[in-house]
């Protein structure tokens, strides 16, 4: 009889990379748990991120919807010297977003219970095609290993 149990993944780190990985794995049918050592939401990491086509494709692939305030248009790029005076200005049509917008969009796109805050990785054990993460509270989480 075939095993129809979905694959299980453990993602250590709940920043942008970890949330993207979790969303993408969930989209292809995996069960995913994300463990983030910080007890607080991650935010206030900066702005001025240029929206590249690959970023939008990654959001589409991962099935993460975003609202109309996902980015803002910019017309120019300006270079400043150490005193803050404009030294050079170039016309450059782009869409800009911020780390916070990306993070919050990814975070709210994952169901409740996927991200576990306040748990750091203490160790890893491997057993054949499975891996076990040992967490800071003594809990153990098992996943498939590829």
- Is residue 75 domain-resident? yes
pLDDT score, position 71: 87
pLDDT digits (tens, 9 = 90+) for 46-90: 677 888 888 889 999 999 988 877 888 889 888 999 999 999 999
Say if 96 falls within a structural domain. Answer: yes
Q: Are 62 and 27 in contact (CB under 8 A)?
A: yes
Is there a domain that residue 3 lies in?
Answer: no
Rounded to whole angstroms, the Cα distance separating 101 from 70 reads: 7
Report the pLDDT value the prediction gives residue 44, as an integer from 0 to 100. 65
45 in a domain, yes or no?
yes
Question: In this model, does residue 1 exceed pLDDT 50?
Answer: no
CA distance 137 to 44: 27
Instruction: State the CATH number of the domain containing residue 66.
Output: 3.50.50.60
> With pLDDT > 90 as the criterion, what percentage of the chain qualifies?
58
Query: Residues near 75 by Cβ (< 8 Å), separated by ≥ 6?
Result: 91, 92, 93
Residue 117 lies in a domain: yes
pLDDT number for residue 113: 95
Q: Strand 72-80 vs strand 115-117: parallel, antiparallel, or unpaired? A: unpaired
Instruction: State how many domains the chain has.
Output: 1
The domain of 39 spans: 8-144
Strands (E) in 6-146, as ranges, are 8-12, 31-36, 47-50, 72-80, 86-98, 115-117, 121-127, 130-135, 140-144
pLDDT class for 99, splitting at 50, 70, 90?
confident
CB 15 within 8 A of CB 21: no
Is 1 part of a structural domain of the chain?
A: no
Q: What is the reported pTM?
A: 0.81
Asked whether residue 107 is domain-assigned, the answer is: yes
How many other β-carbons are positioned within 10 Å of the β-carbon of residue 28?
11
Domain assignment present for 2: no
């Amino acid at each position: 009889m075939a095993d129809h149990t979905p694959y299980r993944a453990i993602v250590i780190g709940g920043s942008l990379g970890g949330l993207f990985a979790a969303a993408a794995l969930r989209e292809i049918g995996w069960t995913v748990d994300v463990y983030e050592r910080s007890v607080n939401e991650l935010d206030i990491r900066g702005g001025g991120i240029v929206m590249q086509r690959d970023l939008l494709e990654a959001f589409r692939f991962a099935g993460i919807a975003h609202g109309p305030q996902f980015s803002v248009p910019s017309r120019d790029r300006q270079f400043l010297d150490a005193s803050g005076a404009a030294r050079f200005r170039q016309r450059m049509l782009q869409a800009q977003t911020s780390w916070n917008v990306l993070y919050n969009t990814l975070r709210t796109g994952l169901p409740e219970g996927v991200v576990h805050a306040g748990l750091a990785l203490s160790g890893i054990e491997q057993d054949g095609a499975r891996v076990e993460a040992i967490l800071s509270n003594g809990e153990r989480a098992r996943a498939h290993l590829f």
